[in-house]
Structure 1
Amino acid sequence: MRKALKDLFNAQHLGVLATQGGGQPYSSLVAFAATDDLKYLVFATTRATRKYANLSSESRVAMLIDNRTNQDSDFHNAMAVTAMGTAEEVKDSEKDQLVKRYLAKHPYLEGFVTAPTCALLKVRVDKYYLVSRFQNVMELHLKP
């Protein structure tokens, strides 16, 4: 399962981040990068966004990453993973390392991620749910 996750994460640039605020769910597209050990998913956002405000009051999140192509073949070939975890702003002590990883995948976002208004966040993943063929479900639980 780890190989399938790594392959999917390497192939996809965007994921859907689910946060909540005021008792309501909220979804956002985010550019992401995963750490080699799969323990963290990293993304960036400006501090003025709704997602950042939501994360400031409720750190539990889900992120969906999939490989759909909007073709009929998706019903047989599409794969989606939901990562469940807790998001927090990256501390200065680990920021250089995680910015480097993020920019290795998204070099075109350098101006964005290094702006003073931008926050780099990481999701500490507790578990992954990998679904293929719309019914085959595998779980991976990560130890803290």
Structure 2
Amino acid sequence: MNSREKTGLEKEECLRKLKNFFELQPLAVLATQDGNAPYASLISFASNEKLTYLLFATPKATRKYSNMQANPAVALLIDNRKNTKEDIQEATTVTVLGRVEQVESFEYSIMEKTYLMKHPYLADFLHSPETAFLKIRVEKYIVVTHFQRVVEISV
């Protein structure tokens, strides 16, 4: 498995393709950690225009939220699999590495608009006082296609 870091124009082209890919994928798997135990959760996500942040909401009374409070380093898996044997060669998977932060009040309205444009059915959930609106500050994207073709993009 060869991994290659993209830079310059190649990086910009990869980010453009990732933006299109993210627009088509409504869900992702969020990996958090509590001490030595990893924990995975299904979430609805959206990305900001420059792909520097990925947005999601979660109830505050969850294991994933308490894990992120203790350790903000997370991984997110976004893919387009169809759960068929062809996925091994045909699916694209993107692992996002980053750190979780609260959406700040000064940026809330624009990020809320971005999130609800993709997930309008989650408006009541997002506005609940029991829900945390969070962003992942992206550090790196690791894109895998054709089973072992790996590209890394630092943000």
Smaller-chain TM-score range?
A: over 0.9
Give 1:132's aligned residue: 145
Query: Is 1:88 matched up with 2:114?
Result: no
What's the secondary structure of 2:107's corresponding residue? helix
User: Which of 74, 95, 111 does residue 124 from structure 2 map onto?
Assistant: 111
Most deviating of 86-95 and 39-48: 86-95
Q: Distance in 2 between matches of 1:24 and 1:129?
A: 23
CA distance in 1, matches of 2:100, 2:58: 12
Give the superposed CA RMSD.
0.9
Q: Where does residue 50 of structure 2 map in the other structure?
A: 37
**Equivalent pair of 2:46/2:118 in contact (CA under 8 Å):** yes
Q: Following the alignment from structure 1 to structure 2, what is the Cα–Cα distance between the partners of residues 138 and 83?
A: 12
Partner of 2:133 in structure 1?
Answer: 120
Indicate the percent of aligned positions where both proteins have the same amino acid. Answer: 47
Q: Deviations along 1:34-86, whole A, 9 cap, x unmatched?
A: 11101000000011011110011100000000000012331221000000000
Output the TM-score relative to the length of structure 2: 0.89
Partner of 1:5: 18
In structure 1, list runs of 5 or more residues that go unmatched: none
- How many equivalent residue pairs? 142
Q: CA deviation at 1:4?
A: 2.3
Q: Which amino acid aligns with 1:42?
A: L
Say if 2:27 and 2:45, in contact at 8 Å, map to a contact too.
yes
With 72-81 and 110-119 compared, the bigger mean Cα shift is at: 72-81
Distance 1:72 1:36 in 2: 33
**Residue 102 of structure 1: aligned partner:** 115
* Aligned counterparts of 2:138 and 2:40: Cα–Cα separation in 1: 18
The answer (yes or no) to whether the contact 2:54–2:138 under 8 Å persists in 1 is yes
Instruction: Report the equivalent of 2:78.
Output: 65
Gaps of 5+ in 2: 1-13
Q: Is the 8 A contact 2:101 2:136 kept in 1?
A: yes
